[in-house]
Amino acid sequence: MTMMNSRPIETASTLTCPQCGHARREEMPTDACQWFYECTHCHALLKPKAGDCCVYCSYGSVPCPPVQEHGRGGACCG
């Protein structure tokens, strides 16, 4: 966890596969968006849902660090 703007930013999120339900805790990149993630259980390739910037915002327990810092309407990964 890092501190930005006096608020703690979570850098780990639990991704849950929508295909098989498998969940795995992963470290999120803090300097880029992750647009693809391969489920370690069923090998489904996850992509962000429409309107989301990355797989963490779509399938994670915690949104990506830029969204945590700026909100969904603010600056993000691209």
Of 21-25, 41-45, 68-72, the range with the lowest mean pLDDT is 68-72
**Structural domain count, the chain:** 1
The answer to whether residue 20 sits within a structural domain is yes
CA distance 53 to 46: 13
The answer to whether residue 11 sits within a structural domain is yes
The answer to whether residue 65 sits within a structural domain is yes
The answer to whether residue 22 sits within a structural domain is yes
pLDDT(5) > 60: no
- Residue 13 belongs to what domain range? 2-70
What is the predicted pLDDT for the residue at 75? 56
Give the confidence band of 33 by pLDDT, cuts at 50, 70, 90: confident
The answer to whether residue 21 sits within a structural domain is yes
The answer to whether residue 76 sits within a structural domain is no
The answer to whether residue 77 sits within a structural domain is no
The reported pTM is 0.82
* β-pairing verdict for 7-9 and 12-16: unpaired
Write the CB contacts of 9 (distance below 8 Å, at least 6 apart in sequence). 1, 2, 3, 30, 65, 68, 69
The answer to whether residue 78 sits within a structural domain is no
What is the predicted pLDDT for the residue at 74? 56
